[in-house]
Amino acid sequence: MNLKRGIYYSFMIIILFFTGLNLYGETLKLTLEEAIALGLKNSSSLQAKNYALQAAIAELKAAEAGHYPNISASASWTHLFDQPKTSDMTIDMGGMGAFTIPGSYMSASDPISVSLSVSQSIYAGGRVKTSIEMSKKKVEMARLDLQEEKRKLIVQIKKAFYGYILAKDVKEVVKETLNNKLESLNVAKKRFNAGLVPDYEVLSAETDVESFMPQVISAENQVKYALLSVKELLGIKEKEDFDIELVGKLEAEDITYDENKLLSMALDHKYDVLQFKSNLEILKLVDRLNRASKLPAVSAFVSYSLESGYDSTTGENKYWGKDSWSDNLTCGLSVMVPLSSLFPWSSENAKIKQGEFNISEAKTGFDSLKSGIKLQIKNLLLRLEEEKAKIKSGEKSIELATKLYNSSKERYSKGLISRLDLSNSEIKLNNVKIGYLTAVYNYKLAVFDLMDVVGVDNL
C-alpha cells in the first residue's frame, strides 16, 4: 500500500512539474493527492533530512574502510645551502714529504626520498565490526527520520486541506444565511410599503443584516487564513503569479477501528517506538565498544623507502645510473595492550558500568511508552464516537431547522409571526449547519491524530 501511494505521489509530482510551467495569472486547482505531491516536492525539511541520510551513508562507508589496509605514500626534496663535508687530512711522510687526503661530502646537496607504507589491523577486539554496525544503525535512523518527516508532512497537509474545505463550506453557509436575511429585509420593505407594518420593522431587519456582516467578514478571513496555511505547507510563496484553489468535499464518515490492531500497528510503525528500539540497539553497541577497549589490538605494517645518492668526492647529486638510489624495506607487528583497564578504577571499567546503567534505564522506558500510546488510542477512539454522535444529531438538527425556517419564512410573509422569530430561525439554521460541518471536520481531525499516534499517513 505504501509503495503504491509512493508511486502515485511521484507521478503527481511529475504532472505538477509540467503543468506548473504555464500558470502565470491562472488558478491552480489541487485535489488532496495533488496537494500532497506538491508539498513533498517543495519541502525543504525533507531535503534536509535527505542530506542527513546521505551523510550517514558516507559515514558508513568510512567505517567499512576499517576492514581494508591503510596505504600511504610520501616524497620529499631537501636543499642544503651548506653541504656538510669532512676536513682535509694531511699526512707527513718524513723525508718522503707529505700528502693530503681531501675531505669527503657527508650528504647530498639536494637529496630526494620516496616511501610507501602499508598497515593493516589484524585484531581489534571487534572494534571495527561494531563501528560498522553502529554506522548502519545511524543510516537506519536517518532513513527513519526522513520517512517520519514525510509522514508528518502528509498528515499536516491533510489537516490543513480539510481545514480550508471547512472554512470554505462555513463561508457558504454564512453567505446563505446573509441572503436569507436580505430576503427577509425585502419582505419587510414590501409589507411596510403595503402599510402592514411600522417602519421600525424595516429598521430592525436592516440592523439584523448589518449585525450579521462581521460574521460574514470573519468567515471570509478564515478562508484566506486557511489557504495561507496550506500554501505554507506546500512551499508556495506569496509572490507566485498564480492562485490556489483546493478541490474537495467535507463528507461524513463512519469507520470502525479495532483498538488492538491499532496498538499492534503503532508498535510496528510509530516513530517513537522505532526510535526507542534503535537507540537501545545503539546503546548495546556502545557497550560492546567499551568492553572491546579492554582487549589488545594487533596490527601489521610494511614500509619501503628509496633515497637518492651522491658522489662523496664531488658532492654531486646522483639521480640516474647504477647505485644512484638506496632502498630500505621494513616490516613488523604492533601490539597495544591497555594495561590500565586491568585496574577496577580505570576509565574503561567506569564506561562499561555506565553503559550497563544506560541500557537498564532505556529498557524500563518501553512499558511507559507502550501504555502512553494505548491511552492515546483509547482517547481518540472515544473522540471518534463522540463526533459520530454529533454528526448523526447534526443531520437531524439540520432537517428540523430547515423545516422550521421555511415555515417561519412563510408565516412571516403572511404576518403571522414577528421578524424576531424569523431571525431566530435563520440563526438556528446557520448554527446547526456550521455545527454539523465542524463535527465532520473534527471527526477527520481525530482520524488524522490517530494516524500520528499509530505512525502512519493513512488509515
pTM: 0.79
For the segment 259-291, what is each residue's pLDDT rounded down to a tens digit?
999 999 999 999 999 999 998 999 999 888 888
Residue whose C-alpha cell reads 621494513 in the numeric block = 330
The full set of domain ranges for the chain reads 46-68+126-242+249-296+339-454, 70-123+299-336
- Spacing of C-alpha 179 from chain mean position: 47
* Other CB atoms within 10 Å distance of the CB of residue 154: 24
List the single range of 13-22, 281-290, 344-353 with lowest mean pLDDT.
13-22
Examine the pLDDT at 386 and tell me if it is beyond 80: yes
Residue 450's contacts (CB-CB under 8 Å, 6 or more residues apart) are 257, 262, 377, 380, 381, 384, 459
**pLDDT on residue 13:** 42
How many whole angstroms separate alpha carbon 351 and alpha carbon 286? 10
Examine the pLDDT at 1 and tell me if it is beyond 70: no
**pLDDT on residue 21:** 38
Q: 246 near 165, Cβ under 8 Å?
A: yes
Look at the alpha carbons of 141, 143, 146, 148 in this order and tell me if their dihedral is positive or negative.
negative
End-to-end CA distance of the chain: 11
- According to CATH, the topology of domain 46-68+126-242+249-296+339-454 is Outer membrane efflux proteins (OEP) (1.20.1600)
* Other CB atoms within 10 Å distance of the CB of residue 223: 18
Average pLDDT in the chain = 87
**pLDDT on residue 199:** 87
Stated as kind and residue range, the H or E segment containing 116 is strand 112-123
- The residues that bridge with 304 in the sheet, in sequence order, are 116, 329
Ranges 115-129, 245-259, 324-338, 368-382, most confident: 368-382
Q: Which three cell numbers, joined as nine digits, stand for 127?
A: 572494534
For the segment 165-206, what is each residue's pLDDT rounded down to a tens digit?
999 999 999 999 999 989 888 988 988 888 888 888 889 889
- Residue 70 phi/psi, 5-degree rounding, is -100, 115
Q: 107 near 84, Cβ under 8 Å?
A: yes
**pLDDT on residue 166:** 96
Q: Which three cell numbers, joined as nine digits, stand for 139?
A: 543510516
- Spacing of C-alpha 281 from chain mean position: 22
Under the banding of pLDDT at 50, 70 and 90, the label for residue 88 is low
**pLDDT on residue 22:** 42
**pLDDT on residue 104:** 79
For the segment 421-430, what is each residue's pLDDT rounded down to a tens digit?
888 999 999 9
Look at 93 and 146; give whichever has higher pLDDT: 146
**pLDDT on residue 15:** 41
**Segment 59-71 mean pLDDT:** 89
Question: What one-letter code names the amino acid at 44?
Answer: S
Using only C-alpha atoms, the chain has a radius of gyration, in whole angstroms, of 42
**pLDDT on residue 240:** 64
* Other CB atoms within 10 Å distance of the CB of residue 301: 15
**pLDDT on residue 388:** 94
List the single range of 79-93, 126-140, 149-163 with lowest mean pLDDT.
79-93
For the segment 135-167, what is each residue's pLDDT rounded down to a tens digit?
999 999 999 999 999 999 999 999 999 999 999
Examine the pLDDT at 334 and tell me if it is beyond 70: yes
**pLDDT on residue 10:** 47
**pLDDT on residue 12:** 45
Examine the pLDDT at 106 and tell me if it is beyond 90: no
**Segment 53-77 mean pLDDT:** 92
**pLDDT on residue 227:** 92
**pLDDT on residue 8:** 46
Examine the pLDDT at 2 and tell me if it is beyond 60: no
Look at 94 and 237; give whichever has higher pLDDT: 237
Residue 226: HSE in the Cβ half-sphere, 13 Å Cα cutoff: 22
Examine the pLDDT at 239 and tell me if it is beyond 80: no
**Segment 302-328 mean pLDDT:** 85
